[in-house]
Structure 1
Amino acid sequence: MSEPVRTSTRHLPELRDRLATWLSGRLGTPVAVSEVSRPSANGMSSETVFFTASWEGTRERCVARLAPAPEAVPIFPVYDLRTQYDLMRLARRKAGIPAPRPLWFEADPGPLGTPFFVMAREDGEVPPDVMPYTFGGWLCEAAPADRRRLQDATVGILAALHDARFTHQEVPGLGAGGLREHLRAQRAYYRWAHGERPVPLLERAFDWLEAHWPDDPGADVLCWGDARIGNVMYRDFTPVAVFDWEMAAIGPRELDLAWMIFLHRFFQDLTVDMGLPGLPDFMRPEDVCRTYRELTGHEPRDLRFHEMYAALRHGIVMARVWLRRIHFGELAMPDDPDDLVVHRATLERLLTG
């Protein structure tokens, strides 16, 4: 994971010109678009484009989110940009979460070849995926007290979101909800992503989940979905932007809690395998759950089940990312399909207890 992962087949100069044409029509005045770029350390699913728009004395630094082109091996079968846009507005208004300020949504695929939305760009630091933040950099070099402040504030995002009251009418694109429905959707996603070449390790994990189903999954809340520090921008270790809402769902609180815990474990395990210490005292399950309990009064439960579920879900995603890298000639197809799962060893350990 040391090299940038290609995620797009679109050319930036063409996107710049098409964005300028679209914005000029949208605002009814000539708009110049400049400083067009893509992130290099995060973002493997939706396409993200940074740009600056200038018109009539106004200068707005923007971020556009687009569904990937079909030939770029999309990570997900559907990209509901409208729901993502609405969720950011709701999270800001009803839960006080610093989701990026939404600017415009475009449902017509004509201007850029796909529906898209544009949000205001914030300034700050994001823990990188490539190279993973556990390998070094500003978070590793921070004082332990500052890392803990960042950790607690990030858990606070989940607490605020989960305790806010959302109606199904406000987020109709997320469906009826429930853990069973969530798992059914994951099975469908797995068949779409890997039906041509099944991954036995992931199928074993599905079987494990059925054999260890919780007696009471708990009440449903609005879940962020991709709840991890790599989807948060920080200033002075405080969240200032919470993004990537494409995996949002209605389900038990533990979907987000276990995902946040497991995604750090994923990077930590990679780091330890490379002979580096990483951040072993960061995002520990007992610390995350204690903070969450203090903020919400909810006692997290069935975490072994939900950690397995997070590992499975991440395995489906990462195996699909590996297929994209194979498509772009960055990797060769492995002989053993289980090797498509980057955290194969971690998942195997979870399966054996």
Structure 2
Amino acid sequence: MPEGIHEAFPDALAAWLADRLREESGARVTGVRLGPLERPKAGQSSEMVIFGARWREEGRERSAEFVLRRQPGPGGIFLHPDAVREARVLRALASRSRAPVPAVRWVEPDADVLGGPFFVMDRVPGRVPAAKPSIHSHGWLVPLSPAERRRLWESAMDALVAVHSTPWRESHAFLLEEGVEPGLESHLRRTAQWYRWAADGRPFPTTDAALAYLMDRRAEVAAGEPVLVWGDARIGNMIFGPDLSVAAVLDWEVACVGPAAIDVAHWLVFDEFATAACGVDRLDGFPGRSETIARYEAASGRTLRDLDFFEILQAFFLATTLIRQADAKIRTGTLPAGSRMAHGNALTQMLARRLGLPVPDLAEDYLAHRYASPGTA
């Protein structure tokens, strides 16, 4: 049984699925059987389960492959996790965007069914690059030719442009806070609230300085017209088909409406994180920063300004996720209480260099975390 899944989970899921299949088909559904429950190899979420199902519908044998995404509890990374919201984001994308996303089949807001609200999607066949320790040193992208990697990268960039082309006022206006204008100011306010919750009154010198920098300079930034922001824009959050095109764009937990530069900066920061920041050479075929910006601007028709500011913002975002990950590991006993993982990691080093601060050493606990298994930061 995957970690975090209790013994009653499969039976409860099978019973719930049987009811949903009956409602969907209007037919007599019997004998629902689940295959093995698996965690995805890529991604850091501890709340995603891949499973197959078989059942009989009016006497005929049926089967399908599904992915379940369950809302994490209070020990999760984000302050206000909302699986129902994420499912709504996906459904709106499926109906109004050119960006490919998995089809959401069912949404369950009742936390009593499986221990938290959840939704179930159709499984999209394909492969996801594993981000740990780096897509440039491990995984199935390494043996590809430079031309193949270039084709994959171009498809990924096109998918990001498609996300930002979504008519969000028609499809995703529900993401707006009532009476609050979408833009950098509201995004920074939410990010600061989340960071202070994650820090919980503790000093984190590098990220504290980064937040002060962001708040001090926000009025000088040209944010541009708001778009639908993916929030975790990177190749490691995409499924690729056999032709190396994007089959699905994944992980919409922090989607919002705001500056397009948030996503482009996130892409750039994660690219640096997977190469220069961890001493890994870039694979041939994957363009660097300047070509990525040029490709995005040409394809989207937008001019990106103040990207240095947004790159600090997204490095700060990723560094904050590491504070939460370290705390979770300390709670479960996989890290000692005095761990320095949240202080000394590749993201705090990147921030320190950008801000002209002393660069912290990499903590041994962070290195063990980074090279342990596939995942994110």
Report whether the alignment pairs 1:352 with 2:356: yes
Change (3 A) 1:220 1:91: same
Task: Give the whole-Å Cα distance in 1 for the aligned partners of 2:256 and 2:173.
Answer: 9
How far is the alpha carbon of 1:14 from its aligned partner?
2.6
Cα root mean square deviation, aligned: 2.2
TM-score norm. by structure 1 comes to 0.89
**AA matched with 1:37:** E
The count of aligned residue pairs is: 340
1:131/1:341 Cα in 2 relative to 1: closer, same or farther (>3 Å)?
A: closer
Q: Which amino acid aligns with 2:158?
A: G
User: Are 1:205 and 2:210 an aligned pair?
Assistant: yes
Match of 1:288 in 2: 292
Give the CA deviation at 1:245.
Answer: 0.1
Contact 1:94 1:164 (C-alpha < 8 Å) held by counterparts? yes
Q: Distance in 2 between matches of 1:126 and 1:199?
A: 33
* Cα distance in 1 between the residues matched to 2:83 and 2:130: 24
Q: Choose from 130, 154, 178 the match for 2:183.
A: 178
Aligned to 1:53: 53
Give 1:1-353 correspondences, 5 Å limit. Answer: 9-11=4-6, 13-28=7-22, 29-30=29-30, 31-44=32-45, 47-56=47-56, 57-70=61-74, 73-167=75-169, 170-175=172-177, 176=180, 177-213=182-218, 214-235=220-241, 236-272=243-279, 276-279=280-283, 282-334=286-338, 339=343, 341-352=345-356
Task: State which drifts further: 116-125 or 167-176.
Answer: 167-176
Mapped to 1, the partners of 2:40 and 2:111 lie a distance apart of: 23
Q: How big is the shift at 1:281?
A: 6.6
Note closer, same or farther for the CA distance 1:170–1:339 as it changes in structure 2 (3 Å cut): closer
Deviations 1:196-241 (A, max 9, x none): 4231211100111233333432111111111111110112321101
The residue number in structure 2 matching 1:4 is none
- CA shift digits 1:72-102 (9 cap, x unpaired): x211122211221121122222112110111
Task: Indicate how the Cα distance of structure 1 residues 335 and 109 shifts in structure 2: closer, same or farther if over 3 A, else same.
Answer: closer
The answer (yes or no) to whether the contact 1:209–1:305 under 8 Å persists in 2 is yes
Runs of 4+ in 1 over 3 A off after TM superposition: 168-171, 278-281, 333-338
Other-structure match for 2:370: none
C-alpha distance after superposition, 1:263-307 (max 9, x if no partner): 1211224530xxx42438735221111111121211111110011
User: Residues of 1 paired with 2:47 and 2:340: CA distance?
Assistant: 30
Paired AA for residue 255 in structure 2: A
Paired residue secondary structure (2:142): helix
- Structure 1's 95 and 202: CA in aligned 2 closer, same or farther, altered over 3 A? same
* Kept in 2: contact 1:85–1:117 (CA 8 A): yes
Q: Distance in 2 between matches of 1:329 and 1:267?
A: 28
Q: Counterpart of 1:36 in 2: which secondary structure?
A: coil
Change (3 A) 1:350 1:279: farther
Question: Which runs of no fewer than 5 residues in structure 1 stay unpaired?
Answer: 1-6
8 Å contact 2:222–2:305 — kept in the other structure? no
Structure 2's unaligned 5+ residue stretches are 23-28, 358-377
Mean Cα deviation higher: 57-66 or 79-88: 79-88
TM-score (norm 2): 0.84
CA–CA separation in structure 1 for the residues paired with 2:293 and 2:338: 38
What CA distance in whole angstroms lies between the structure 2 residues aligned with 1:76 and 1:283?
Answer: 31
8 A contact 1:103–1:118 mirrored in 2: yes
Write the distance in 1 (CA, Å) between the matches of 2:222 and 2:146: 37
Could you tell me which amino acid in structure 2 is paired with residue 24 of structure 1?
A
Equivalent residues of 1:62, 1:121 under 8 A apart: yes
Work out whether residues 49 and 63 of structure 1, in 8 Å CA contact, stay in contact via their aligned partners in 2. yes
Larger displacement relative to structure 2 (109-118 or 26-35):
26-35
Q: CA deviation at 1:342?
A: 4.2
**Conservation of the 8 A alpha-carbon contact between 2:93 and 2:171:** no
Q: Tell me how far apart the structure 1 counterparts of residues 343 and 276 of structure 2 sit (CA, whole Å).
A: 16
Say which SS state the counterpart of residue 167 (structure 2) adopts.
coil
Matched position secondary structure for 2:169: coil
1:335 Cα offset (Å): 6.2
Task: Tell me the CA shift for residue 9 of structure 1.
Answer: 2.7
Q: Among the aligned pairs, what percent are the same residue?
A: 32
Partner of 1:3: none
